[in-house]
Amino acid sequence: MPLVRIDLTSDRSSEQRRAIADAVHDALVEVLAIPARDRFQIVTTHDPADIIAEDAGLGFERSPSVVIVHIFTQSGRTTDTKQRVFAALSDKLAAAGVAGTDLFAAISENGPQDWSFGFGVAQYVTGELTVPTTGSG
């Protein structure tokens, strides 16, 4: 059950924003084998001047249309799985018009005690929800 934040520039149309969100979700469904309806995304637009994403020492320039994807998910993913997520994000977002140089992605892991789906309760802890395995979200 990943929670995904997608930050992008406000110069993208609503259709482009949806295509980007769909591409991110498709990558997670493909690599993490999460159910298609297990979708929690926050898409936030920013003035291009409000996203600063410079070279991290890799020697390439980003355009003003950077897309930042932050994935929060259960702990236990292997480095290989994370690498496959990053590759799938790049591939799927390229098809949605996002250059590889304009993608910045991060994965943050946490435990079942860190999730509440409503009512002020951590449902994985109370047993109302089954803790997903690392192969299913």
pLDDT beyond 80 at 133 = no
What phi and psi, each to the nearest 5 degrees, are found at residue 54? -90, 180
Q: pLDDT category, 17, cuts 50, 70, 90?
A: very high
Q: What is the pLDDT of residues 73-97, one digit of tens each?
A: 999 999 999 999 999 999 999 999 9
For residues 29 and 59, the model is more confident at 29
**Amino acid, res. 53:** A
Report the pLDDT value the prediction gives residue 134, as an integer from 0 to 100. Answer: 66
Report the pLDDT value the prediction gives residue 136, as an integer from 0 to 100. Answer: 46
The total of other beta-carbon atoms located within 10 Å of residue 50's CB is: 10
3-state secondary structure the chain: CCEEEEEEECCCCHHHHHHHHHHHHHHHHHHHCCCCCCCCEEEEEECHHHCCCCCCCCCCCCCCCCEEEEEEEECCCCHHHHHHHHHHHHHHHHHCCCCHHHEEEEEEEECHHHCCCCCCCCHHHHCCCCCCCCCCC
pTM for the model stands at 0.91
Catalytic residue positions, numbered: 2
Report the pLDDT value the prediction gives residue 1, as an integer from 0 to 100. Answer: 75
For residues 57 and 66, the model is more confident at 66
> Strands 67-74 and 3-9: what pairing?
antiparallel
3-126 maps to which CATH number?
3.30.429.10
Domain positions in the chain are 3-126
- What is the mean predicted confidence (pLDDT) over 117-132? 91
pLDDT beyond 90 at 109 = yes
For residues 57 and 40, the model is more confident at 40
Out of 16-20, 57-61, 63-67, 95-99, least confident range: 57-61
